[in-house]
Amino acid sequence: MIRKLFRNASITTPSDPGTPLAGERQEEVRHFTHGAVYCRDGVIKAIGEEKEVLKVLSPGDVDIEIDCEGLCLIPGFVDPHTHMCFAKKREEEFTLRIQGTDYLEILQRGGGILSSVRAVRAASEDELFSTTLEHALSAHQFGTTTLEIKSGYGLETESELKMLRVIDRVGRETPLDVVPTFLGAHAVPEEYAKAPEDYLNLLIHDMIPAVSKQGIARFCDVFCERNVFTVDQSRRILQAAKEAGMGLKVHADEVYDLGGAGLAAELQATSAEHLLAASDENLRAMAKRGVIGVILPGTAYSLQKAYAPARKMVEFGVPVALATDCNPGSCYTESMPFVFGLAVLNMNLSVSEALVAATLNAAYAIEMAAHGGSLDVGKSADLLLLDGESPAIIAYHAGVSPVVGVYKRGELVFSP
């Protein structure tokens, strides 16, 4: 048994009430000026002002003491939306995009997601594992302690199962907690371009049963977008996934207001993600059904589009979570501090709102709140030590990582 005391820390953390935080509560955090966290075997046993925590400890209760020297301590970031299982970067496509070619037009021409599909299909399982591991470890160094990784660059049964095995292996061979999501409905693969309905049948009658039998994926996601999957097709896929026991997520209204947010509300999906173009009506429907809105400001930044209406989401009572969307096309970053800065400076979230979005609500968006997302007794001691006095440093010290210590289950896993 290892008993650790983190002391002399300026702690800011949400406290988990058992639901994601929405509306005025989106910025509900606790602060301890001279705080301490006590953990046993990687599980938090006490948190509060240092003198209060010391009161509940007896002499000899602490094996290792860590003096945080007044620095800011927050929960580890939870990144609830990534596509970081990919085999090759797409730098040439980035160059085309900044010269004015549209993201969806590149996909229409057989590039974009489809070029990542060719690379993933051609990669061996070990090759794909080593590139995915690189991205995951990079995220870890930027303070991510729990993350979701989607499949979706296989688009045929065996390649999707291969991606899910790789994603699962990243979780088993690193300190990170990894939540795998099946995204077979990421695009219609080239061989089905002339018969998209046949691909839908493959998804529903072959892939979803095979993925369910494999037992790795916890969620199913669909890219509901013009020229990708319609609302009706998305509904059919998600219903089949629900029957197979998977949780539901929707890539909704990223480029056009197709109604993906409304579909997420109708199906009571766990989350709807992107939402750059979502209508007020559908955002309100999400709030009513408790669907989490995952904002991905790095994608708006990289695609040079208007940001999702995060202030409106808070106003309507949608619980907002924050993620990187790390992928080789629309947003290549593993950095939660980067997207945190964008959320504060370009989407007008307060620092506390962004902190809740990047921790507790993000954990709810992937059903990991029982383990992480806040520094509460009984949760995993996933902690970040920041080079500042408060979480404001994350947005304020732009373009660099403020993270000087990453602790997973109480163990130091990274320090620069």
Interface ranges with ligand NIG (CB under 6 A): 83, 112-113, 116, 223, 251, 254, 299, 325, 327-330
325 counts as binding Fe ion under rule CB under 5 A: yes
Which residue lies nearest ligand NIG, judged by its C-beta? 329
Nearer of residues 103 and 407 to ligand NIG, judged by Cβ: 103
Tell me the residue type at 269: A
Q: Is the separation of the CB atoms in 286 and 279 below 8 Å?
A: no
> By CB under 5 A, which span of 12-20, 89-97, 186-194, 321-329 interacts with Fe ion?
321-329
In 266-392, where do the E strands start and end? 271-274, 292-295, 320-322, 383-386
Number of residues that bind Fe ion (CB under 5 A): 1
Query: In angstroms, what is the minimal distance from the CB of 336 to Fe ion?
Result: 15
Residue 299: which of ligand NIG, Fe ion, none does it interact with, CB under 5 to 8 A by kind? ligand NIG
Nearest to 154 by CA among 104, 119, 199, 110: 119
221 counts as binding Fe ion under rule CB under 5 A: no
Query: In angstroms, what is the minimal distance from the CB of 251 to ligand NIG?
Result: 5
**Residue 18 gets which letter from DSSP?**
S
| Alpha-carbon separation of residue 331 from 249, 380, 395 (angstroms) | 19, 30, 19
Query: In angstroms, what is the minimal distance from the CB of 407 to ligand NIG?
Result: 30
Count other C-beta atoms under 10 Å from residue 128's C-beta.
Answer: 26
Query: In angstroms, what is the minimal distance from the CB of 40 to ligand NIG?
Result: 39
Query: In angstroms, what is the minimal distance from the CB of 299 to ligand NIG?
Result: 5
Query: In angstroms, what is the minimal distance from the CB of 296 to ligand NIG?
Result: 7
Contacts of 259 (CB under 8 A, 6+ apart): 224, 231, 253, 279, 282
Nearest to 323 by CA among 276, 287, 274: 274
Residue 328: which of Fe ion, ligand NIG, none does it interact with, CB under 5 to 8 A by kind? ligand NIG
Q: How far apart are CA 145 and CA 214, in angstroms?
A: 25
> By CB under 5 A, which span of 129-137, 241-249, 318-326, 384-392 interacts with Fe ion?
318-326
CA dihedral 393→149→223→23, nearest 10 degrees, is -40
Residue 14: which of ligand NIG, Fe ion, none does it interact with, CB under 5 to 8 A by kind? none
Residue 113: which of Fe ion, ligand NIG, none does it interact with, CB under 5 to 8 A by kind? ligand NIG
End-to-end CA distance of the chain: 27
156 counts as binding Fe ion under rule CB under 5 A: no
Site residues for Fe ion per CB under 5 A: 325
